[in-house]
Amino acid sequence: MDIAIVGRHTKVSEDMRQRIFEKMEKVEALAPRATRADIHVVHERNPKHANDRERVEITVRGRGVVRAEAAAEDRFVALDGAMQKLVEQLRKLHERKAHRHQGKSGLHTVPAPVPVEDDVDDRATSVEAWEGAPEGSHREIPIDGTPIIIRSKTHAATPMTVADALDQMELVGHDFFLFHDVDSGLASAVYRRRGWTYGVIHLEQAAAEESRETA
């Protein structure tokens, strides 16, 4: 696995680099197919965030992408927190795959959708452009007559199964994941419900006549 360590607003000491390499050995054991890991060590300059001024972001790439981050007053503590989250995500993925091979109900058995407001956290985080993003992939859309701005982000996506989408959702640590369903050909979203249950929503375009009748 190629490991790239980058410091933002700070220099990464040799001790920190050595600690990162040591901890990544466990990640390599849990994700043997991973090909690259990007570790960003970020120093927050704003004094209002003194308690979380050191942040470590870890992105592991292979057949999928796994991300984890943590912040603390000390960057070594932040590294430990980010690594703990990353390892936990990888272990959960292995457990679900093992259950599928044992003939238990797997990720392909997804409960029917329930009202989203009952189970989905409505908090949102800011969307920012990322390094190497294609032109037009990030834009702001104003809503007429209001001060509200919607930030839009576009990703390239390969069609996948519901099970693969759930795996990817867990790997990136989100509560939902948008994807193209390879079986139905529809734009879809899987999301986390309570406990170890999940939901899936498929979007099917309605005919023009149906849309007018329901309007």
Work out the end-to-end distance of the chain between its first and last CA atoms, rounded to an integer number of angstroms.
54
Q: Which residue type occupies 124?
A: A
pLDDT score at 104 = 45
Number of other CB atoms surrounding residue 30 within 10 Å: 16
The helix or strand, by DSSP H or E, that contains position 167, with its residue range, turns out to be: helix 162-172
pLDDT score at 19 = 94
Number of other CB atoms surrounding residue 96 within 10 Å: 17
Return d(Cα 31, Cα 81) in angstroms, integer: 19
User: Buried b / exposed e across 117-135, counting CB within 10 Å, b at 16+?
Assistant: eebeeeeeeeeeeeeeeee
CATH no. for 2-101: 3.30.160.100
pLDDT score at 214 = 56
Residue written as tokens 């959960």?
92
Residue written as tokens 């190629």?
2
pLDDT score at 176 = 86
> What are the structural domain ranges in the chain?
2-101, 116-214
Architecture of the domain whose range is 116-214: 2-Layer Sandwich (3.30)
pLDDT digits (tens, 9 = 90+) for 115-140: 444 443 333 333 444 444 445 545 55
Long-range contacts of 193-197, Cβ-Cβ distance < 8 Å, separation of 24 or more:
193/111, 193/114, 193/119, 194/119, 197/111
> Listing from the earlier edge strand, what are the strands of the sheet with 54-61?
2-8, 36-43, 54-61, 65-72
Distances (CA, A) of 20 to 57, 88, 135, 184, 212: 12, 17, 33, 42, 58
pLDDT score at 215 = 54
pLDDT score at 6 = 93
Question: Which residues, given as ranges, of the chain have pLDDT below 70?
Answer: 94, 96-151, 173, 194-196, 207-215
> Listing from the earlier edge strand, what are the strands of the sheet with 187-192?
176-180, 187-192, 198-203
**Do 38 and 6 touch, CB atoms closer than 8 A?**
yes
pTM here is 0.51
**Do 163 and 101 touch, CB atoms closer than 8 A?**
no
